[in-house]
Structure 1
Amino acid sequence: RPMTCPFQYQVYLNRQRSYRELPMRLGETSTLFRNEDSGEMHGLIRVRQFTISEGHLILRPDQLEEEFKGCLDLAKYCLGTLGLLDKCTFRFSQWDPANPNNKYEGTAEQWEEAQRVMAQILKDLDVDYTVGIDEAAFYGPKLDIQYKNVYGKEDTLVTIQIDMLLAEKFGMYYIDENGEKKLPYIIHRTSMGCYERTLAYLIEEFAGALPVWMAPEQVRFLPVTDRACDYCADLARQLSDLGYRVDVDYRNEKIGKKIREATMEKIPYMIVVGDRDMENNTVSVRLRTGEDLGAMPLADFTAKLKAVVDSKSLDLN
């Protein structure tokens, strides 16, 4: 399965469609495959099996700009939430009529019209972009959201593509208000790109210290002595029941070693629990940055954790 497009088109094609049903927005998270050359593969950034959330919007020509804006807003929201948007740039990827490989479908007139429409949309949306000749998809121009990794290499993270050609090839008509058969436009879009590639960029961007809301382990309890293990287990269970990712370091090791290892593993919150905490029904909170927040009731820490996670904050406080 190289792409999701033909499969989603079959949903549209399962019966005749009216103009009143458009736009039809289809989306799925799917596993795709590309037979990349071995020399092209690079960690999680370029792989042969990958996961993507891809959508196709089938719409009338008069709906194109509004739906394109919605796709761009979605991509900006996702990348902004992940903390990657500030490093992104935009590229208007166009065809090259002199392309020696002749990879493009359609006529010159169709391409000029598609690129004229897209240029007007980008102008209306005040998108600051560069132009990439011969970077278009074979069926239409696209807006590529480009990201520079920590080494300065630029890759495409998200694409939003205008397609005026494939609907005819797949026989995807709709009946307009006059009872006539018309061809829709299609927008191909992703929201946060290939999961594996985006994850690689997140690991690089944050040097492994992922924001709390996406950290694989959000809280680690560190009992100072064996006497605190049951207390820690009970508190960890309370946080786990609330949906947080929690672990307890039960090892018979010095507390300094437990703190060092948790810090090196980039655990956002370390909860150090000793005899005094058990006596006072408190927990002592440390951040992976080395900051000590002192002792507090578990309820206070839980409220703090909830605020950070719910807000998708990139900070620990």
Structure 2
Amino acid sequence: MVDENREAMVTVSESGTGTDLFAERKEVVALRIDGELRDLSTELTPGQEVEPILITSPDGLNILRHSCTHVMAQAVQDIFPDVNLGIGPFIEDGFYYDFGNIDSVTPELLKEIEKRMKRIVKEGQRFERRVISEDEARVELAQQPYKLELVTTKGGGAEGASVEVGGAELTMYDNIRRDGTRVWTDLCRGPHLPSTKLIGNGFALTKFSAAYWKGDQDNDQLQRIYGTAWASKDDLKAYQDRMAEAARRDHRKLGAELDLFSFPEELGAGLPVFHPKGGIVRRVMEDYVREAHIKSGFLYVSTPHISREDLFHTSGHLPYYADGMFPPMDDEGQKYYMKAMNCPMHNLIFKSRGRSYRELPLRLFEFGTVYRNEKSGVLQGLTRVRMITQDDSHSYCMPEQAADEINHLLNFILSLLRDFGLNEFYLELSTRDEDGKKKDKFIGTDEQWEAATEVLRKCAADAGIETVLDPGGAAFYGPKISIQARDAIGRTWQLSTIQYDFNQPERFGLHYTGPDGSHQQPIMIHAAKFGSFERFFGILVEHYAGAFPAWLAPEQVRLIPVAEAFDDYCHEIADKLRARGVRVEVDLSDDRFGKKIRNASKDKVPFTLIAGGDDKDAGAVSFRYRSGAQDNQVPVDEAVERIVQHIASHSNEDYA
């Protein structure tokens, strides 16, 4: 797809550099020539087509952030002259650099490094590219063991390594002061900003951690320092505000505060337990989703948590997905695996008897709990766990039904996500890599991949939703569409996936009897609507900042008596609400009245009902909403009806 936000190509009319060509456009910081990003100082020839890269563009921000890594490394080497320099890539919204042979990083050291960085930025040092031979690099970097290793391996094995990988040349970037002296240098492929001055005051160092050289625990442990950088101070402030809001919404923090779930150490990493309140939310989610599936033509099934090893060889997951599965268990010489996916077992259900084309599409669905051997370093609350409960379905259809089935799934998934309050989406179409370099990662013929990809591409276009391409991101058995949803503060989460599979039906020998009586092979379409219940639960906690809509809230109503004399009256109202299916509690604690009100607010209860003398005399109750607004002396029957109707509406907005 063409990025409409990219700048128009410019034709070079006379010899010179990019700096000359865009002298009047200070926001241009680099060039794209023949699809490759280059420094603004690159020599140009007449007739060349170049694209200007703005500092505010995604590429421009990445270049800005990578330039910041060099400034940070220079500042660190000012403080620790004997530092061993690792790698320093840009990452989403920021950058990091790894250092060896320095003191443990502290908040105080972080401030000192940032102070020195500001001094370097203010100096306006130029970034200059220099080609260097391997022999010259070994001499120049003799005191830098990690850089020497990168020279030898051409960056191999170092994630984010900034060496010219796979090319014929190595390049250094020098930092040059205005008087022409070289003050710092690093092995790097670039490109960089023309000057440190363009970094301005839109950067900040954010955190630090330990890291291993090349990500290997057998290698040296290094100090990793992170930062963020933006095109302006205002953009930096906006980012910091977003991060503060994200921290306020962190589902791990809210999960503990609201008593929803926990991760007991005794169980092991990545294995959550849901407490009674969290269990209520999860049950409501499951009940709603199960009913929606059944209404939409899915057939509910259930399968075991473990299987003999042979099943996963048949499906192709062994050896392709072996690293993602827990080691097998041994039963008298027979190996059993905990399942990491449900599809092989659904295939056995399809295969259990003869099938006719009249049954298709056949949609099998279950809440299947799978287990994946995620590395401990990537586990993150509920959003990355080792126990994953999927709202997983597999549709078996004739090839000519595939497009309609994918459209059905897309519409069904988007409807479900909207029901839970997520309304902004884009689609990601993951295909086999276009240049064919990684074909060994994928099963199937070119013709099968082309046909499957074209079906998904057309369905994505028909959905009328923004679609971005992800070459090389397909599953090993077929292309897929991922639904990316934006939450209340604009963050993007990958949720649902729809995967086109021409591989497993063949491997399992699945067939149906066609209209002409012949045996034909179905197409299989995998779909996980939320991705996993655990992850979706965590996302909803953050989306709503713990203030679940009333239909989903674990406690929908809390009754607070003004004094002990009104306890029985509150119980009478609670009984009426319970009779209508409302989840309600009466606060009979010894806390003062004001604290009870604050506790209800802290617990994010949608409806707080207050009952005192005037309320009881009038057969009424007073509402206090989460917004802080109050509605006094509402007749009890009206209050009950108001609450019941709001819950029944499945509104994701607070009552107003």
Q: TM-score range by the shorter chain?
A: over 0.9
After superposition, give the CA deviation of every residue in 1:149-188 in whole Å (9 maximum; x if it has no partner).
Answer: 6787644211011112210111111111111111111111
Q: Distance in 1 between matches of 2:582 and 2:382?
A: 26
SS at match of 1:198: helix
Give the one of 429, 442, 446 matched to 1:108.
446
Cα deviations by residue, 1:184-221 (Å, 9 ceiling, x for unpaired): 11111122221111111111111111111111111000
**Alignment-derived partner of residue 169 in structure 1:** 507
Give a deviation string over 1:115-139, Cα, whole Å, max 9, x none.
Answer: 1222222233334200011111111
Report the 3-state secondary structure (helix = DSSP H, G, I; strand = E; otherwise coil) of the residue aligned with 2:444: coil
1:61 has 2:385 as partner: no
C-alpha distance after superposition, 1:40-83 (max 9, x if no partner):
10011000012111101101112112211111111111111111
8 Å CA contact 1:273, 1:283 repeated in 2: yes
Q: How does 1:24-103 map to 2 (within 5 A)?
A: 24-86=362-424, 88-96=425-433, 98-100=436-438, 102-103=440-441
The aligned runs of 1:118-157 (5 Å cut-off) are: 118-148=456-486, 154-157=492-495
* Aligned residues of 1:99 and 1:134 also touching (Cα < 8 A): no
State whether structure 2 residue 543 is matched by structure 1 residue 205. yes
- How far apart in 2 are the matches of 1:292 and 1:121? 48
Q: Which amino acid is the alignment partner of residue 8 of structure 1? A: H
The one-letter amino acid paired with 1:31 is T
Letter in structure 2 aligned against 1:187: I
Question: Does 2:352 correspond to 1:14?
Answer: yes
Q: Compared with structure 1, are the counterparts of its residues 41 and 145 closer, same or farther at alpha carbon in structure 2 (3 Å cutoff)?
A: same
Q: Mean Cα displacement is larger for which, 139-148 or 75-84?
A: 139-148
Cα distance in structure 2, aligned partners of 1:268 and 1:230: 22
- 1:219 corresponds to which of 539, 553, 557: 557
Alpha carbons of structure 1 residues 316 and 153: separation in structure 2 relative to 1, 3 Å? closer
Name the amino acid aligned to 1:91: E
Local SS of the residue matching 1:72: helix
SS of the counterpart of 1:213?
Answer: coil
Which stretch of the first structure deviates more once superposed, 167-176 or 58-67?
58-67
Does the alignment pair 1:196 with 2:507? no
User: Which piece of structure 1 moves more, 123-132 or 162-171?
Assistant: 123-132
Q: 1:308–1:315: 8 Å Cα contact kept in structure 2?
A: no
Contact persistence 1:272–1:286 (CA under 8 A): yes
Question: Can you list the C-alpha shifts for 1:18-53, whole angstroms capped at 9, x where unaligned?
Answer: 111111111011211111000010011000012111
Cross-structure match for 1:296: 634
C-alpha distance in 1, partners of 2:464/2:595? 53
TM-score (norm 2): 0.47
Change (3 A) 1:263 1:26: same
Tell me what 2:654 maps to. 316
User: One-letter code of the match for 2:390?
Assistant: I
Question: Which deviates the most, 156-165 or 95-104?
Answer: 95-104
Structure with higher RCO (Cα < 8 A, 6+ apart): 1
Q: Mind listing any 5+ residue stretches in structure 2 that lack a counterpart? A: 1-338
Q: 2:604 is matched with which residue?
A: 266
Quote the offset at 1:252 in angstroms.
Answer: 2.6
Q: 1:285 aligns with which of 616, 623, 641?
A: 623
Matched, 1:185 2:523: yes
CA distance in 1, matches of 2:609, 2:489: 35
Distance in 2, Cα, partners of 1:265 & 1:305: 18
Q: Give a deviation string over 1:241-299, Cα, whole Å, max 9, x none.
A: 22111111001322111101111111111110112211211111110110001111222
Alpha-carbon separation, structure 2, partners of 1:300 and 1:151: 35
Structure 1 spans left out of the alignment, 5+ residues:
none
Q: Is 1:240 equivalent to 2:609 in the alignment?
A: no
Decide whether the 8 Å contact of 1:224 with 1:254 is kept in 2. no
Deviation at 1:240, TM superposition (A): 1.5
Cα deviation for residue 148 of structure 1 reads 4.8
Q: What secondary structure does 2:392 align onto? A: strand
